[in-house]
Amino acid sequence: MKKASEVVFCVSDRLVIRKFGLQDVHSFYQYRANPEVSRFQSWDNFTLQDAEAFVSKQIEHSPDQPGTWFQYAIALTESNQIIGDCAIHTLVDEPQIVELGFTLAPEHQGKGYMNEALCALIDYVFGFLKKHKMIAFTDVRNTKSIQVLERLGMRREGHLLENYMSKGFWIDEFQYAMLKSEWLEKRQ
């Protein structure tokens, strides 16, 4: 029987997109607890216990379950060390559409890792999972995420005013999207 962290969903030149394993807890905790990483995220004061519970849940969870998020570990090919994570949320009302999420440790930002990881994940989502459309939401102040989404070729479809409450404030979001046909055309 394979360990959770041996379940690989896709690979790129420098990265492996795989299932989380127990050995990932400390690395996951270190970047998720960083205030720079959590600034535009829903969590605050992320603890080691939060990381342990999250990873344990992900080990038991399977991708592409309508109504749920599945988190993929982003690991360096050479060391299998996680440097971030990406996720898809399969919509319950329309499971042919998935929502994208992602986080990267600050020391690995600016090296093209997130673009590389997400390109591999999108190939997997549209190829293996046969999804029709991918969407993403980002805080309008999160310029790094906006740049990642636009570099992928996702199109901004909306500006949602005061769309959700985060850390006591109403937050504006941009909505992005990409169709499978657009991705396949871009990849040619």
**Per-residue model confidence as pLDDT tens digits over 106-132:** 999 999 999 999 999 999 999 999 999
The Cα 87–Cα 186 span in angstroms is 22
Report which DSSP code applies to 94: -
The Cα 165–Cα 170 span in angstroms is 5
> What's the whole-number average pLDDT of the chain?
94
Number of domains composing the chain: 1
pTM: 0.93
**Full domain range(s) for residue 149:** 4-187
- Structure confidence at residue 15 as a pLDDT band (50, 70, 90): very high
- 39: domain CATH number? 3.40.630.30
pLDDT for the residue numbered 126: 97
pLDDT for the residue numbered 42: 82
